[in-house]
Amino acid sequence: MPALIRTLCLLSLLAVTAGRSQQHSILLESAPGTYQANASFVVNGVIPQQPDAHLFTPLEDLKLLSDSEFTSLSHPSFPRHGVRIKRSNWCDGTVQAYTGYIDIEARHLFFYFFESRSDPDKDDVIFWTNGGPGGSSSMGLLMELGPCKVTGPNQTEYNPYSWNEQANIFFIDQPVSVGYSYAEYGESVGTTQEAAKDVAAFVAIFFENFAKFKGRPFHMAGQSYGGRYIPLFASTIYDQNARLIEAGMSTVNLTSIMIGNGCTDVIGMMPAYYDMQCKNITVAPVQRIDSCVRMRQALPRCEKRLKESCSDQFDLIDCQAANAFCKAEIVDPFIATGYNPFDVSRLCEGEMMDTFCYSITKMINAYLNRADVRSMLGVDPAIGNYSTYSPEVGQAFAASLDKFSFPAQYYIAGLLERGVRALIYAGANDWICNWVGNERMTLELEWTGQQTFRAQPLRAWNVDGKTAGLTRSTGGFTFATIYGAGHMVPYDMPAESLELVKRWLAAEDL
């Protein structure tokens, strides 16, 4: 399958310059003394409660941050973790923006954070990650739902449909080696489980340091491979809350997950790949009749081999063989048509692995490789050329067959059972993580509300008096399609995308 499948103490605050040796310090200083890193974040499943944790004073006002150098923050309960953050006046122009790194020993995750245009002191917080695996969230930021969009290698324009219209939002480059994130001493991440540990630490440290946002409803969102990332990331954060309580810390108010065109159940997506290229569902069939006949004959064997080798039991060698067979028979024939796998209604712009079928990606690369932009954002000098996609990360996840190694949909069910709402939305024109496969996944999901959910008919949902798509919902679980959109819904249908998010944050029916 194409590699793109696999798309934060005023009392204890240390201001340091951008020099790497100073930034790397995670000492916490306060009146009684200095506390030095000497224990891990979690030891045998427990967050160590430091004897001096009550001396910690969170940063109350982000406006105190410098716009020319990083401020380093830490917490005694996270002795091997730190935050480097600065104000970065760019992209939006109407709200405060910040960039920086969450330092987790030798792993350093880059983030962008934008306050809400509406009421930053009260609005919810959204976490966004792109997929891949290996895809940088700069695509979500600068192409889809961020405060600005890149319109050329040297310019951006204000995005009136940004999701920070009514929410505080941060974008994260994860795992390490993606975008501006990096690692030292050979550290790397090749599975979603490994990535989840870093993201959970990121989220806990963010809220503990930035008291202004503590307790706000928190929504985890992503697209594409985010369909596998988000369920596990959110579940790890939910389970981590119990340990935060034991350590005398505030919990993360995980309220919902939002997955756009997610490849959550990869095995279940296989028959949908056939449907979307050989049946008259969203658009007319794009395949030759004889190709569709061959594909239909191969599909049962593909599904059987994936189920036996990748689902019923995970056998790396046999699963690799099954994946290779399905790729050759089901996936490759579509790629060969030249159609855009992210929007079956149009042809690919340029070579897929060069532009990902959208020429804007090359402009994003050029813009984020500008020296002045990197300096403004505080990008670590250790970072080489920026790229919207990391082949190394994609290859590492492919080698571990991460896309088959755990049932991501079961984590969605677990979250629903615990009162965490889930929104599964899909642009109707996407092929790679299409609405057909996503609807089937939602209908087959085993949870206490399954029968009630299945009994609900699909109905139209409207924006400005026009039908925006179809939806089905019950008990905090919602499925929705967006007409006219491909894989990247906010890019194709920005107004509908923003209205979808506004209603979801307000817990309103679509």
Looking at 162, 224, 309, 497, which residue is catalytic? 224
418: phi > 0 → left, psi -120 to 50 → alpha, else beta; which?
alpha
- Asked about 332 being catalytic, the answer comes back as no
Report yes or no: 263 and 1 within 8 Å, Cβ to Cβ.
Answer: no
79: preceding bond cis by omega (within 30 degrees): no
Cβ neighbours for 288, distance < 8 A, ≥ 6 positions apart: none
CA 66 and chain centroid, separation: 28
The C-alpha atoms of residue 439 and residue 453 are separated, in whole angstroms, by 11
Cis peptide before 133 (omega within 30 of 0): yes
Q: By C-alpha distance, which of 477, 8, 443 is closest to 210? A: 8
Choose the catalytic residue: 75, 81, 108, 487. 487
The structure tokens listed for 116 are: 């809400």
Task: Retrieve residue 54's tokens.
Answer: 């009550």
Question: What distance in Å separates the CA atoms of residue 360 and residue 491, rounded to the nearest whole number?
Answer: 11
Whether 224 is catalytic is yes
Q: Are 114 and 147 a contacting pair, CB within 8 Å? A: yes
**Angle at the Cα of 434 from the Cα atoms of 432 and 435, rounded to 5 degrees:** 175
Q: What is the DSSP string of 351-418?
A: -HHHHTT-THHHHHHHHHT-HHHHHHHT--TT--S--SB-HHHHHHHHHTTGGGSS-HHHHHHHHHHT
Q: How many CB atoms lie within 10 A of CB 216?
A: 18
Indicate which residue of 123, 124, 430, 492 is catalytic.
430
- What are the tokens at 58? 């969170």
User: Mind telling me the catalytic residues?
Assistant: 224, 430, 487
